[in-house]
Structure 1
Amino acid sequence: MLNFKHLHYFWVVGQQGGVTKASESLHVTPQTISGQINQLEAELGRDLFEKAGRGLQLTEFGKLVMSYAEEIFTLGNELEAQVAHADEEQPILLRVGVADAVPKTIASRILMPAMDLNERIRFICKESTQENLLADLALHRLDCVLADGPIPSNLGVRGYNHRLGDSGLSFMAATSLTLASSRPFPQMLHEAPMLLTSDVSQIRAPLMTWFTDQQIVPRILGEFDDRALMKAFGQEGVGVFIVPTSIADEVAEQYDAREIGRITDVTESFYLITSERNPTNPAVVTIIEEARRWLGTTRAG
């Protein structure tokens, strides 16, 4: 079995940035720490450090071990803190994964009602791809995942899709951007400068199909995984950008933009994915109920 004392010394060296500072923190000699790390390397059968000039740096294997040590001892510190305050009223912990394709304004609007509960809420929000977040959900590292689509059938992840609702799409342009075409919407979009989401987003493919059906060929100047970055470019007048109609007014005010048209032929859907069919966490229940009220649906996917 792995000797956690050796691992702890190794972790402290990483936290303090060197053996000397770690020895001061642990109140032991540098030789003691070096000996503990040598024993850990012997246990693991691989080097954790390599020479770099006059000092040492982590090997690739050492970086891997450090990432696990970081998680182990961070959780241990959190456990100690929880035990020390066990008699105090503890906040409800809500670990939420937000898929990077979900607009952050949408995410904050959906999650915010949980903060209005009488109970104290502590959010831990993680942003990544839907696939990575669903893996964390399966390992019970997350309570729920906010995504722009249900669980993909090819992932083989067990979970439950709670459909929150849908939103049409609004085409936005900075007030400083003048479009060359005088034709009405949507024909004005033909050859117009356009900023689009990348294919990370569930709406990209149906949107391109809609352009084809409308015989519109936009002049695509940028494709973005990060919608906040896309809106920032749009604010500078680089091109027309697209947002869910549900937040068009907020975006117009925040980014000094105007809505030039909206469509309902292509819609963006939002889901809260949980490992429970019927969630019991009051924060999760509130999020689902309030999001459906806001987005105008009572259906579950």
Structure 2
Amino acid sequence: MRVDALNYHHLHYFWMVAREGSIAAACEQLDVSQPTISAQIRALERSLGLRLFERQGRGLVLTDAGRVAYRYADEIFSLGRELRDVISGRPAGHPLRLSVGVIDALPKLVVAQLLEPALHLEEPVRIVCTEGKVEELLSDLARHRLDIVLSDAPIAPGAAIRAFNHLLGECGVSLFAPADLAEALSAGFPSSITGAPILMPGERTTLRRSLDHWLDDLGLRPRVVGEFVDSALMKAFGHAGAGLFPAPTVIERQVCEQYGVAVVGRVEQVREQFYAISIERRLKHPAVVAVFEAARRDLFS
């Protein structure tokens, strides 16, 4: 293919469909008809000699070639916006955007430590975090509205979207409580927690299932006084003295300092795993690569 054969008008229509997630949504943004956009995309595919979209149910998903084309198109049209800014006298050099989806059950202290390396790149980075249910976040990932999704579980093999799991690391779980309660329970741990008040993650979370199995295996029966999907809210109740609560061992020091609690005991049998889920088999976004490498090298080493 000759370089001058690439029609940037066709490329722009393709980019809008990929960015918005459907032809109908792109039509609203561009104020053109669906047949017009479909014809433009077919013309682009013919000029490239490759399929950029494929049908999945009633929707469209990008092919491998389409994902490559989208990333290049995104850079091309971002440079175009920057050119307009420079010509009109507005400042250039916009920071690199890192859009991250965070499942709501993930401990925020872990998320902060995972993402911090992205802020220390030579190129300025702007992190945009979206919190929600895993299904919603994976849908946004498929529409290229997110670069990665941070999760405590891998995407299932039969998931509706094609995505790849990148294990950032794993660690055990520690149980925390205010100092007086921690001192009373730590000597005979773990049998000492039977009958003790405990705050637990929500029933549908990965950590809750793992903790329930551990308690059942040892025949331990603490008194559950609260259940929380939001781990930060659970820690706030623990800080107020409502009971002991779990958190990843990797953030022990930060939990003790921030919430004024002490470690009751550590549970190595219960493992917390942390994943970055992406639509790319090989991570390419420089900020995502920095997050992955720092997690494997430092945080979970």
TM-score (normalizing by structure 2): 0.69
2:10 corresponds to which residue?
Answer: none
Distance 2:84 2:180 in 1: 57
| SS of residue in 2 equivalent to 1:254 | helix
Distance 1:183 1:91 in 2: 51
Which residue identity lines up with residue 104 of structure 1 in the other structure? K
1:124 corresponds to which residue?
Answer: 128
Distance of aligned partners of 1:296 and 1:240 in 2 relative to their CA distance in 1, 3 Å threshold: same
Pairing 1:99–2:103 present: yes
Distance 1:123 1:102 in 2: 17
Distance of aligned partners of 1:4 and 1:153 in 2 relative to their CA distance in 1, 3 Å threshold: closer
Distance 1:199 1:182 in 2: 26
2:264 corresponds to which residue?
Answer: 260
Distance 2:165 2:28 in 1: 42
Preserved contact between residue 101 and residue 200 of structure 1 (Cα < 8 Å): no
Distance of aligned partners of 1:181 and 1:159 in 2 relative to their CA distance in 1, 3 Å threshold: closer
More deviation, 181-190/280-289? 181-190
Distance 2:277 2:83 in 1: 30
1:222 corresponds to which residue?
Answer: 226
Pairing 1:278–2:282 present: yes
Pairing 1:149–2:150 present: no
> Equivalences for 1:68-83 in 2 at 5 Å?
none
Distance 1:159 1:153 in 2: 9
Identity score, percent: 42
Residue 199 of structure 1, CA deviation: 2.4
1:85 corresponds to which residue?
Answer: 85
Distance 1:212 1:198 in 2: 17
2:213 corresponds to which residue?
Answer: 209
Alpha-carbon RMSD:
2.6
Distance 1:182 1:245 in 2: 16
Residue 296 of structure 1, CA deviation: 3.3
Distance of aligned partners of 1:280 and 1:174 in 2 relative to their CA distance in 1, 3 Å threshold: same
1:291 corresponds to which residue?
Answer: 295
Distance of aligned partners of 1:222 and 1:89 in 2 relative to their CA distance in 1, 3 Å threshold: same
Distance 1:159 1:239 in 2: 39
1:243 corresponds to which residue?
Answer: 247
Preserved contact between residue 176 and residue 237 of structure 1 (Cα < 8 Å): no
Tell me the matched-pair count. 226
Distance of aligned partners of 1:188 and 1:86 in 2 relative to their CA distance in 1, 3 Å threshold: farther
Deviations 1:241-285 (A, max 9, x none): 000000011100111100010011011000001111112111010
Which residue identity lines up with residue 207 of structure 2 in the other structure? I
| SS of residue in 1 equivalent to 2:206 | coil
Preserved contact between residue 182 and residue 264 of structure 2 (Cα < 8 Å): no
Residue 178 of structure 1, CA deviation: 6.4
Preserved contact between residue 186 and residue 264 of structure 2 (Cα < 8 Å): no
Q: Which has the higher helix share?
A: 2
1:108 corresponds to which residue?
Answer: 112
Deviations 1:47-81 (A, max 9, x none): xxxxxxxxxxxxxxxxxxxxxxxxxxxxxxx9997
Of 231, 236, 256, the residue aligned with 1:232 is 236
Preserved contact between residue 91 and residue 119 of structure 1 (Cα < 8 Å): yes
Residue 219 of structure 1, CA deviation: 0.1
Deviations 1:194-230 (A, max 9, x none): 0010024211112101101111011000000101000
Which residue identity lines up with residue 298 of structure 2 in the other structure? W
Deviations 1:74-130 (A, max 9, x none): xxxx99975642572221111110111110000000000000000010111100011
Which stretches of structure 1, 4 residues or longer, exceed 3 Å deviation after superposition? 1-6, 78-84, 176-183
Distance 2:79 2:86 in 1: 10
Distance of aligned partners of 1:176 and 1:236 in 2 relative to their CA distance in 1, 3 Å threshold: farther
Deviations 1:138-177 (A, max 9, x none): 1111010111011023422211111011010000001253
Residue 3 of structure 1, CA deviation: 8.2
| SS of residue in 2 equivalent to 1:177 | helix
Preserved contact between residue 176 and residue 182 of structure 2 (Cα < 8 Å): no
Which residue identity lines up with residue 279 of structure 1 in the other structure? L
| SS of residue in 2 equivalent to 1:213 | helix
Preserved contact between residue 96 and residue 124 of structure 2 (Cα < 8 Å): yes
Preserved contact between residue 153 and residue 206 of structure 2 (Cα < 8 Å): yes
Which residue identity lines up with residue 191 of structure 1 in the other structure? G
TM-score (normalizing by structure 1): 0.69
Of 269, 273, 277, the residue aligned with 2:273 is 269
